[in-house]
Amino acid sequence: MSKKVSILLIYTGGTIGMIKDYPSGTLKAFNFKKLVSNIRELSQLDCNIKSISFKKPIDSSNMNPKHWASIATIIEKHYDDYDGFVVLQGSDTMSYSSSALSYMLENLRKPVIFTGSQLPIGDLRTDAKENLITSIQIAALQENNHPVIQEVCLYFEYKLYRANRTTKINAEHFEAFTSLNFPPLVESGVHLKINHNYLLKNQKRKKFTVHKTMDTNVAIFKLFPGFSRELLRGILNIPNLKALVLETYGAGNAPTDEWLLADMKEAIKKGLHIVNVTQCSGGSVIMGRYSTSKELKKIQLIDGGDITSEAAITKLMYLLGSGVSHKSFRTIFETSLRGELTQN
C-alpha cells in the first residue's frame, strides 16, 4: 500500500485567516491552527495535513524579502518531510512573493502553491474553502509516486497558474489574478484538468538549492505621457541603485526625446541595468518593431520579453543577490530560469 501524501500548510497572514472584530467590523488575524481544526472538509481529504504559522501573521502589504526568506527557510527545513507545500498569504502582493520564491527555490521537485482569498474563511460566502481545498488536492497529486506539480504556483478561483506569470488584476472579484502570457496549468471544474504540456519538469539529478539573499537596490519606473527629465534623473541617480524596471508603452516603446536616451545611456554606461518591460498586462516587448523602441535597443536596454513587472523586479533582486557578474547579467536576465518568460 502506498503511503499517504503529506502536505504542509504555511500560514503567513492575509484575509483567509482573519475574522471580523465586532462591533467595529475590521478584519484581524486569528489563530490559524484553531481555524484549520474547525474546517471539517479538510479531514475528508486523503492526505496528512500539518500547518505552521508565522508568529505574527501579516497583511501581505507588509511583506518584504525577509518574509520571503522565512517562507523559503520553512520549506527548506521541511522539504524532505512533506510531499507538497501550500502557502497562505494575502493576495495583494502574492504575485511578488510567489515570483520571488520561484527564483529562491532552485531545482524544486515538489509543489509549492500560494493561495488566499478575498473573503475570510469564516464568512458565509467565502471563496477561501474552495481555494484552500483545491490547492491541497493539487499539491497532493502524484504520478508514479512523484508529485505532478514541481514548481511554484498560484491557485485562485478554479485556476492554477505558474506563479511568476501572474498579476493581481481585481480587488473585488473572486477571480483576482490573471496570467495573460501563459495558460493555466490546472483548471478545476467537475474534474481537475491538468495541462501536462505546460508543466515545468526539473531534472532529477540537480540538487534542490535555496537562495535567500535578495538585493533591494532596484526600482520600477512606469512611463506616463509628460514625465519630466528631473523625475527620470532623480530615479537614475538614486544612490546605490543597481537595476531598474522601465515599464514602457505597448510593445516596449518610449518617447524618442534625445535627453531621455542620453540620460539612460549614461546611466547604463555607469553600470545600471535597465530592463524594458511592457506596462500592458499581456503581450511582449519587441524592441525594434517601432521606431520608438529602436533606440532603446541601441543603448542596450535588457529585453524583458513577456515577463511581468512582478517577475522582473524579483528576478533583478535575485540575480543581484546571487552576485551574477555584470558581464553575464543581460544574458541571464533574458534567459528563462523558472519559466517566467517565453524564450524565442
Spatial CB neighbours of 187, under 8 Å, sequence gap ≥ 6 = 158, 159, 160, 193, 195
- The contact set with ligand ASP (CB under 6 A) reads 13-15, 59-61, 90-92, 116, 118
CB of 99 to ligand ASP, least distance (A): 15
Spatial CB neighbours of 10, under 8 Å, sequence gap ≥ 6 = 51, 52, 53, 71, 74, 75, 85, 86, 87, 88
Catalytic residue among 12, 15, 93, 314: 15
Nearest to ligand ASP of 59, 187 (CB atom)? 59
In the numeric block, which cell numbers belong to residue 144? Answer: 508514479
As a whole number of angstroms, the distance between CA 213 and CA 103 comes to 11
If you write DSSP's letter for every residue of 121-155 in order, what string do you get? TTSTT-SHHHHHHHHHHHHT-EETTEES--SEEEE
As a whole number of angstroms, the distance between CA 135 and CA 79 comes to 18
Nearest to ligand ASP of 82, 114 (CB atom)? 114
Nearest to ligand ASP of 118, 166 (CB atom)? 118
Q: Which residue is nearest to ligand ASP (CB)?
A: 90
As a whole number of angstroms, the distance between CA 318 and CA 326 comes to 14
Nearest to ligand ASP of 64, 331 (CB atom)? 64
CB of 135 to ligand ASP, least distance (A): 14
Of 195, 202, 208, the closest CA to residue 141 belongs to: 195
CB of 21 to ligand ASP, least distance (A): 15
CB of 75 to ligand ASP, least distance (A): 20
15 is catalytic: yes
Residues acting as catalytic residues: 15
